């Protein structure tokens, strides 16, 4: 799961867990499972190294396709987990794609096993089946658990915002591309694909990477230039002010599905949004705050809006797919992968050292302490669109949490040269083999797409369509139908 993944039906009991200034995973929490790592120390930064298992035999079983899994120790007590898969086809020339899940604090193993990775776990929680629609059919793929404390990553948990998250990930890739196993990928086309809280991560990470590239090229910083060619975000959390308002609109009339909540609940949501001192007023105050008090202002705004707007909009529905109930005994996509990754035999094979958790309360608590969830990343996204970077903003239509109406309204509000053109551009249906799978708007290198019949984790619901969309984006094509 992703943004607000660990919320109960009260939507706050866990989401607002208090966090100390930093939280460390104790040495006692590390599991001594005797993994025979291949280790390489960095020549760039002291006390850093890559340690991994090569070709574990877990998940990717396609003959001749290599994989690496393990840790990049990016500093003292800072071990960031990764799992890399070569492309099944033409790996020597295929692009390099980073996949990040959201949360904040949720593991990218969610994306690997539930969405677009080489395999899926069977109901027995012990075996896997090959995924024919894996994105490593088209690209070399790396899945990273970040910030530290998420998933299999471990160490000091001290990242407390989207903006503080970018530098460690940049350092991760500087060190990774130094390694002899990975240096051949350092000049490849680099795509960042993410979802949910990735609506925060994606714009800021790419903006930061580009800033570092500029410093490297003008000689003020030593490092490896990263050839960033595309950004993909599905069901992203970009702009809280716009997207909290969209909950009311979506619950009133989810396009194609109708009203999701009763008139009485909708009236209460409307009151909470627009009354004096309500959700909208508090978010505006957060956006305007520039003092040290902004953390509390944004924290309080987020608290109020989650409890009084988001929560009632979802009710007893599954927030990631309103066609399911939250209490469904067999929710889709299934979570068999959690038990699979907690199996010590599997952990030893892949080189994992801590017990797997899909989402981290300590990491979430750190972000909560700065009110990060209530802050907008729309300016950064608009600037990237203005630069001409290839961007796809797409959304599954049955997700409530980051519903497609709010995502669409947020990109329509972006300040960039294509703003008016995008507003005037009608939706065009995308078909694959005659089946309508999505509706899109293309403006130069920017695309918005609504994916029919998909929930929050789009590749899980529509694997074939998602692979085709991914393929078109990494080949720098405007979205189009496939006969």
Q: What is the pLDDT of residues 387-412, one digit of tens each?
A: 999 999 999 999 999 999 999 999 99
- Is residue 87 situated within a structural domain? yes
Q: Per mean pLDDT, which range of 88-97, 301-310, 325-334 is the poorest?
A: 325-334
Instruction: Supply the pLDDT for residue 475.
Output: 97
Q: Band of the pLDDT at 220, cuts 50, 70, 90?
A: very high
Sort strands 228-234 and 190-195 into parallel, antiparallel or unpaired: parallel
Q: Omega of the bond prior to 244 within 30 degrees of 0, cis?
A: no
Instruction: Supply the pLDDT for residue 293.
Output: 86
Which residue in 196, 272, 360, 369 is the catalytic one?
Answer: 196
Alpha helices per DSSP H over 278-377: 279-288, 294-305, 311-314, 336-342, 344-350, 361-369
* Mean pLDDT of the 139-143 span: 98
Q: Band of the pLDDT at 5, cuts 50, 70, 90?
A: very low
Q: Does the pLDDT value for residue 90 go beyond 70?
A: yes
Largest CA distance in the chain: 63
By the 10 Å C-beta count (0-12 exposed, 13-18 middle, 19+ buried), 267 is classed as exposed
Q: Does the pLDDT value for residue 283 go beyond 50?
A: yes
More confident: 143 or 38: 143
Place of tokens 């969309």: 469
- Is residue 150 situated within a structural domain? yes
Which residue in 200, 238, 408, 456 is the catalytic one?
Answer: 456
Query: What is the C-alpha separation between 408 and 236, in angstroms, rounded?
Result: 10
Q: Band of the pLDDT at 24, cuts 50, 70, 90?
A: very low
Structural domain total, the chain: 1
Q: Does the pLDDT value for residue 476 go beyond 50?
A: yes
Query: What is the C-alpha separation between 41 and 26, in angstroms, rounded?
Result: 23
Instruction: Supply the pLDDT for residue 13.
Output: 28
Sign of the Cα pseudo-torsion (344, 346, 351, 353, in order): negative
Residues 6 or more apart whose CB falls under 8 angstroms from that of 368 comprise 15, 16, 17, 19, 299, 302
How much helix, strand and coil, in percent to the nearest 5, is found in the chain?
35, 20, 45
Model pTM above 0.95: no
Q: Pull the structure tokens for residue 252.
A: 């009133």
Mean pLDDT over each residue of the chain, to the nearest integer:
92
- Provide the CB-side half-sphere exposure for 101 (13 A, CA): 32
- Is residue 34 situated within a structural domain? yes
- Is residue 154 situated within a structural domain? yes
Nearest to 17 by CA among 4, 32, 30: 4
- Provide the CB-side half-sphere exposure for 360 (13 A, CA): 36
* Mean pLDDT of the 332-351 span: 96
CA distance readout (Å), 127 to 57, 59, 60, 379? 12, 9, 12, 44
* Mean pLDDT of the 170-195 span: 95
Q: Does the pLDDT value for residue 12 go beyond 60?
A: no
- Is residue 308 situated within a structural domain? no
Place of tokens 């403006």: 443
Q: Does the pLDDT value for residue 3 go beyond 60?
A: no
* Mean pLDDT of the 118-138 span: 97
Verify whether residue 196 is a known catalytic residue.
yes
What is the span of the domain harbouring residue 441? 23-238+374-474
Q: What is the DSSP letter of 427?
A: P
Q: What is the DSSP letter of 374?
A: G
Instruction: Supply the pLDDT for residue 474.
Output: 97
Verify whether residue 399 is a known catalytic residue.
yes
Instruction: Supply the pLDDT for residue 9.
Output: 31
String of DSSP letters for 113-158: IIIISSEEE-TTSS-EEE-TT-GGGTSEEEEEE-STTSTT-EEEE-
Which residue in 272, 399, 408, 410 is the catalytic one?
Answer: 399
End-to-end CA distance of the chain: 34
Q: What is the pLDDT of residues 358-369, one digit of tens each?
A: 999 999 999 999
* Mean pLDDT of the 219-227 span: 94
- Is residue 323 situated within a structural domain? no
CATH code at 429? 3.40.50.1820
Place of tokens 């994606």: 202
Verify whether residue 328 is a known catalytic residue.
no
- Is residue 313 situated within a structural domain? no
Q: Does the pLDDT value for residue 264 go beyond 60?
A: yes
- Is residue 112 situated within a structural domain? yes
């Amino acid at each position: 799961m992703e943004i607000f993944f660990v919320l109960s039906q009260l939507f706050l009991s866990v989401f607002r867990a208090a966090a100390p200034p930093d939280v460390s995973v104790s040495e006692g929490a590390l599991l001594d499972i005797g993994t025979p790592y291949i280790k390489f120390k960095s020549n760039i930064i002291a006390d850093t190294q890559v340690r991994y298992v090569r070709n574990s035999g877990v998940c990717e079983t396609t003959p001749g396709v290599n994989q690496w899994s393990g840790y990049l120790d990016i500093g003292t007590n800072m071990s960031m987990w990764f799992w890399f898969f070569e492309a099944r086809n033409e790996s020597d020339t295929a692009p390099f794609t980073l996949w990040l899940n959201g949360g904040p604090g949720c593991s990218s193993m969610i994306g690997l096993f539930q969405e677009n990775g080489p395999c899926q776990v069977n109901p027995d929680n012990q075996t896997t089946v090959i995924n024919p629609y894996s994105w490593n059919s088209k690209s070399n793929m790396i899945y990273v658990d970040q910030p530290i404390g998420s998933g299999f990553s471990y160490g000091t948990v001290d990242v407390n915002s989207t903006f503080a998250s970018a530098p460690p990930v940049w350092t991760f890739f500087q060190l990774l591309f130094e390694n002899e196993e990975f240096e051949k990928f350092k000049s490849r086309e680099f795509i960042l694909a993410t979802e949910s809280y990735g609506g925060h991560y994606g714009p800021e990470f790419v903006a930061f990477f580009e800033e570092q590239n500029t410093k490297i090229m003008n000689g003020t910083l030593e490092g490896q230039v990263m050839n960033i060619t595309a950004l993909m975000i599905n069901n992203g959390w970009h702009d809280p002010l716009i997207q909290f308002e969209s909950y009311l609109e979506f619950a009133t009339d989810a396009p194609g599905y109708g009203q999701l909540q009763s008139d009485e609940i909708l009236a209460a949501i409307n009151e909470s949004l627009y009354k004096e001192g309500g959700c909208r007023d508090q978010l505006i105050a957060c956006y305007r705050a520039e003092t040290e008090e902004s953390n509390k202002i944004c924290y309080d705004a987020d608290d109020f809006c989650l409890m009084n707007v988001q929560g009632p909009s979802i009710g007893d529905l599954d927030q990631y797919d309103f066609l399911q109930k939250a209490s469904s005994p067999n929710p889709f996509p299934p979570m068999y992968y959690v038990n699979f990754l907690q199996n010590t035999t599997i952990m030893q094979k892949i080189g994992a050292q801590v017990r797997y958790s899909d989402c981290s309360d300590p990491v979430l608590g750190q972000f909560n302490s700065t009110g990060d969830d209530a802050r907008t990343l729309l300016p950064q996204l608009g600037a990237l669109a203005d630069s001409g970077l290839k961007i796809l903003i797409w959304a599954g239509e049955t997700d409530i949490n980051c519903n497609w109406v709010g995502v669409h309204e947020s990109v329509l509000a972006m300040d960039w040269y294509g703003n008016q053109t995008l507003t005037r551009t009608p939706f065009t249906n995308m078909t694959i083999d005659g089946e309508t799978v999505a509706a899109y708007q293309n403006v130069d290198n920017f695309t918005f797409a609504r994916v029919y019949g998909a929930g929050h984790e789009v590749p899980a619901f529509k694997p074939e369509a998602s692979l085709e969309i991914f393929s078109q984006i990494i080949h720098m094509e405007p979205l189009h139908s496939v006969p």
